[in-house]
Amino acid sequence: MALRIIAKKGEPILNKHCRPVTEFNARLHTLLDDMRETLMASNGVGLAAPQVSILRRAVIVLETNVEQDGDEYIIELINPEIIAQEGEQDGSEGCLSIPGLYGYVKRPMKVTVRAQDRNGEWFEVTGEGLTARAFCHELDHLDGILFDQYVDRLLTEEELLAEMEEAAEPETPEA
C-alpha cells in the first residue's frame, strides 16, 4: 500500500466527470487500498478517486455511526448512485481538497446508495447523519463538484474552535 497525493482545489482534475469502473481487478484493489491508507493518514471521513487523480467512479466512506461494537469501518462504493434520500440536515463540512475551508451545507438526513463492491457485486447501503453527508459529498466529487459551491455560510473562527474543543464529538468532517 502507498499514500497517494490529494489534489487540491484549482487542479482541473477535481472538476472533471469520472468514468465508470469496468474492470474489478488488482489495479482497482490497489487503488482502493491506497485510498484507505491515504484517508486514514489524513483523518478524513471520505475520499473519492478523483481526489487522488484517478478519474473513475470509486469512493470510500468511513462509517462512524456504528452502534453495535463501536468499531469504525470503511465502505467502498464503486459506480455508486443515490437511489433514495429523506429528511434534511444542516451541518458543517470540509474537504481534504480544500484545506482550511469549513462551511454549513444542507444535506439529506438519510441516503441509500446502490453500488458495486471491489469484486463487482451490487449492493445497497443506507447511511444516516454524518455518513449520509459523506455519501453525498463523495458522490459529488465523481461529477466534478466540490462542496464549497453549496456552502450557505462559512464557519467563523469561534465556531471552528468550539467544534474542535468538543472532544467527544468529531470535528467538522473533511471528506
Which H/E stretch holds residue 127? strand 122-128
Q: Does residue 95 bind Co ion (CB under 5 A)?
A: yes
Q: Find the residue with minimal CB distance to Co ion.
A: 95
Select 120 or 144, whichever has its Cβ closest to Co ion: 144
* Closest of 34, 4, 39 to residue 174, by C-alpha: 39
Least separation in angstroms between residue 75's CB and Co ion is 16
Give the whole-angstrom CA distance, residue 60 versus residue 37: 11
Q: Which of 138, 158, 159, 165 does the annotation list as catalytic?
A: 138
- Residues from 120 through 159 that contact Co ion (CB under 5 A): none
Least separation in angstroms between residue 21's CB and Co ion is 19
Collapsing DSSP states into helix, strand and coil, what is residue 101?
coil
Q: Which residues contact 44 (CB under 8 A, 6 or more apart)?
A: 62, 96, 173, 174, 175
Select 120 or 129, whichever has its Cβ closest to Co ion: 129
Give the whole-angstrom CA distance, residue 137 versus residue 135: 6
Total residues contacting Co ion (rule CB under 5 A)?
A: 2
Stretch of 5-13, 76-84, 89-97, 152-160 lying at the interface with Co ion (CB under 5 A): 89-97
Select 28 or 175, whichever has its Cβ closest to Co ion: 175
For residues 57 and 49, is the Cβ–Cβ distance under 8 A? Answer: yes
Check if 11 is active-site: no
Which H/E stretch holds residue 48? strand 46-48
Least separation in angstroms between residue 137's CB and Co ion is 6
Least separation in angstroms between residue 93's CB and Co ion is 8
Instruction: Please give the C-alpha separations between residue 122 and each of 33, 77, 104, 117, in angstroms, as whole numbers.
Output: 19, 10, 33, 6
- Residues from 19 through 78 that contact Co ion (CB under 5 A): none
Footprint on this chain of Co ion (rule: CB under 5 A): 95, 175
- Catalytic residue numbers? 138
